[in-house]
Structure 1
Amino acid sequence: MGHREDLLEGAKRCLLEKGFLRTTARDIVKASGTNLASIGYHYGSKAELLVQAYISLIEGVGERFEPGLGGTVTEPPGSLERFQEVWTSVLRTVPESRPIWMLSFELMFQDERLEEVRKLLAEAQEGGRSGLVAMFSGIPESDVDKEAVDTEGRFYQTLLNGLMVQWLFDPDSATTAEQLTEGLRRIIAATSAGGAR
């Protein structure tokens, strides 16, 4: 590995151990075995490096979201069964990805101290939304159109963030994939019937 990759791996370790606020450039240098000048040379700033490290951690979690064992999807796209299959897969990753989700919430509840990092991550969210649309729809991520990202992607991302809050707060009372799917089924039935149940 070169300095760029070493810095990224060191930053990921620091984020998981210390979080965004307590991670210093010197911590990253120590964890990566590089030097301070390497951060600016390869990433421009500590904030940029931390954002890239965080995105890499989140992408690793997202890769484990794929339904079924070994990425095998068994239910047809657009079905309630597929909806439940995907959420079951997502929730299965919570115990191992808990520290990464805690990082997300650390970031959400910070003020201007992490403003630069928050802006960079806000720009990166669209990629997460398109990945979610691809999982539920079965469309390759490269073919997901902007309208789907801005509507369906936002819907799935809102559900994901809400579920993560519940699971981090109290896993025993958190919404399950089955409950979420039944809730959606009832909403669809109610809207199809014009509000009658």
Structure 2
Amino acid sequence: MKSIYIYFLILPFFLTACSPSEPAGLHDPASNTKIALRSFSDTTKLDTFKIVLKGDEPKNMELVFTITPKGGHQIYTKTLKATALLDNYKESIDLAKKKEQLQFMREELSLFFDEENFIEPAVTESEKPDNNTPDKNFFEELKRTGLNGFKYRLGKESKVYIAWSEQDKKVKNYYECCK
């Protein structure tokens, strides 16, 4: 009988220790933060990609996206207002209620670092610039350097592709387009 009690006391500790969890620091639901480590400004070092959902009401919420190289200062910051994102999708998704708006913003946070958004390399040797390429010289620079890119959406039909410019020492848009 005594062994059964010991079994029931130990079982919860065993189950907790064996349960799968995300790697430490990659997602903290309490603070609405996600972090990804990827090579971006240097092909041999990892940069820290961070997205934070700030605010508690849809009207004042925003996604703040930053990129920081290893041991360096922030090289990119972009703030995406919830109101702009919600307005962009209200025609195609039912976002009339606050609960749905909050859920939408949490989904935006969780999908921001999807694998498909990291582009390795940003531009391949065979790619050609088109009308959606804001800087043809930067596009050619990316072909030469082989640096990686990242894309994120500003709305239903608007995506921005960014990469590090070794020449200008800053993050720049190399493509802006639709779906």
Instruction: Tell me the TM-score normalised to structure 2 length.
Output: 0.27
Larger Rg belongs to = 2
Greater strand share, structure number? 2
Greater helix share, structure number? 1
Instruction: Tell me the TM-score normalised to structure 1 length.
Output: 0.25
